[in-house]
Amino acid sequence: MFDEIMEKFEGSPSQQAVIRLLLERGFSVNDEGRVVSGGIEIPNTGIAREAGVDRRVVDSTTDAILADEELRRIFQNISAIPSLMDLAPVLDLSVLTVEVGNADAPGIVATITSELADAGISIRQTISEDPEFTDDPKLYIITDEAIPGDLLNDLSNLDFVRRISIA
């Protein structure tokens, strides 16, 4: 799906930068063509600055979104989910990052979370990046406590795991 969305803007790398930012942040576009998070409007100048483009590129991108029925349905229904990842150090939580060889393979989240549950580790949040929207998707698991080294080794040895890191 991500590739299909980006193809609609293949002639404009600047508009692609805006689209990527909207998708990464879970920003939507309202009927007036304004970028919003929930009901809060985000100034186009802020979007432009973050995406590294001119403010008018944001305007033309939101106009193109509203003019395309498929894009309109996507960008009017997207939403952001709060993440504990940046708060983890402040809240004394651990963040396990799992990189896999084939993110489309079934059972990745179930296997990792089952291993943690079997070890008695409470999971506060899981965030799985969508392989359709990210080139190198990762699985983030925020836990109440540190993950023991032997469990990290066991997780690292799973066939589908390419790399594990902990913060």
pLDDT in tens, 4-29: 999 999 999 999 999 999 998 999 99
What is the model's pTM?
0.77
Q: Which element (helix H / strand E) includes 94?
A: strand 94-100
End residue of a domain, out of 54, 75, 96: 75
Sign of the C-alpha dihedral computed for residues 86, 76, 14 and 42 taken in this order: negative
* Domain containing residue 140: CATH number: 3.30.70.260
Helix (H) or strand (E) holding 2: helix 2-7
Separation in Å, CA 165 to CA 30, 41, 78, 96, 144: 38, 36, 29, 6, 16
Total domains, the chain: 2
43 band by pLDDT with thresholds 50, 70 and 90: very high
Among 75, 99, 129, the domain-final residue is 75
Per-residue pLDDT reduced to its tens digit, 72-110: 999 999 988 889 998 999 999 999 999 998 888 899 999
Cα angle: 123, vertex 127, 130; to 5 degrees? 150
The phi and psi torsions of 158 (rounded to 5 degrees) equal -65, 140
Q: What confidence category does residue 55 fall into, taking pLDDT thresholds of 50, 70 and 90? A: very high
Asked whether the predicted pLDDT for residue 132 surpasses 80, the reply is no
Degrees to nearest 5, angle at CA 7 with 5 and 9: 85
Domain residues for the domain of 151 are 88-166
**Same domain, residue pair 32 and 58:** yes
Boundary residue ending a domain (75, 108, 138): 75
Q: What is the mean pLDDT of the chain?
A: 94
